[in-house]
């Protein structure tokens, strides 16, 4: 299964520490998934880690986005191995693991693979957060009082296979955050 790949091109979180947060979720999270922060974890050693929860109808703004360096974990029996698989499409933030998150700000620009969105883009020009789902959904209009992105262009993310550098071009959409 291919998971979403995101490339933050111009984001405020690169320069502002308060727009970065450690989170943990009871669900697997793909990079690019959006969520709100519920409460700080009560687990020992997790005093600065928030619980990530899927947006609900009353919490579609002020959301955060999973963005963890893509170090794929390969599981073999009870063992986990990191760094064996270099393909970022095979990376997912596993349930219960601490995940890096950023808070998208209006004006931020991302390049996001097609897998980061629910539904087909076709003629839709907005990607919005919606209730009970971690994905962004394509729509014809910007959803009011919700995290919302505007489609800018179709582009590619280049991925090497290990045998050849940059031999795979992954279709991606360049989007700009309009509201959060």
pLDDT of residue 2: 76
C-alpha pair distances (Å), 93 with each of 27, 55, 118: 9, 18, 18
More confidently predicted of 73 and 9: 9
Q: For residue 165, what pLDDT band results from cuts at 50, 70 and 90?
A: low
- SS3 of 154, please? strand
Lookup: tokens for 67: 């963005």
C-alpha pair distances (Å), 83 with each of 27, 46, 88, 175: 22, 25, 11, 29
Give residue limits of the domains in the chain: 6-179
Secondary structure letter of residue 133 according to DSSP = -
DSSP track, 116-130? GEES--TT--EEEE-
- SS3 of 18, please? helix
Lowest mean per-residue pLDDT among 98-102, 104-108, 156-160, 165-169: 165-169
Lookup: tokens for 66: 């999973």
Partnered with residue 110 across adjacent β-strands are 8, 175
Residue among 103, 139, 142 at smallest CA distance from 11: 103
Q: For residue 73, what pLDDT band results from cuts at 50, 70 and 90?
A: confident
């Amino acid at each position: 299964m291919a998971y979403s790949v995101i490339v933050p091109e111009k984001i405020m979180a690169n320069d502002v520490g308060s727009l970065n947060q450690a989170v943990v979720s009871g669900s697997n999270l793909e990079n690019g998934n959006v969520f709100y922060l519920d409460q700080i974890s009560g687990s020992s050693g997790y005093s600065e880690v928030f619980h990530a929860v899927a947006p609900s109808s009353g919490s579609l703004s002020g959301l955060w986005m999973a963005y963890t360096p893509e170090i794929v974990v390969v599981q073999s029996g009870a063992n986990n191995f990191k760094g064996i698989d270099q393909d970022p499409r095979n990376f997912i933030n596993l349930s219960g693991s601490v995940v890096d998150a950023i808070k998208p700000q209006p004006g931020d620009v991302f390049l996001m693979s097609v897998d980061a969105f629910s539904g087909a883009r076709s003629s839709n020009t907005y990607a919005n957060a919606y209730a009970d789902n971690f994905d962004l959904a394509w729509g014809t209009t910007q959803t009011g009082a919700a995290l919302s992105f505007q489609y800018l262009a179709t582009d590619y993310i280049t991925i090497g296979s290990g045998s050849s550098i940059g031999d795979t071009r992954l279709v991606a959409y360049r989007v700009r955050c309009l509201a959060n």
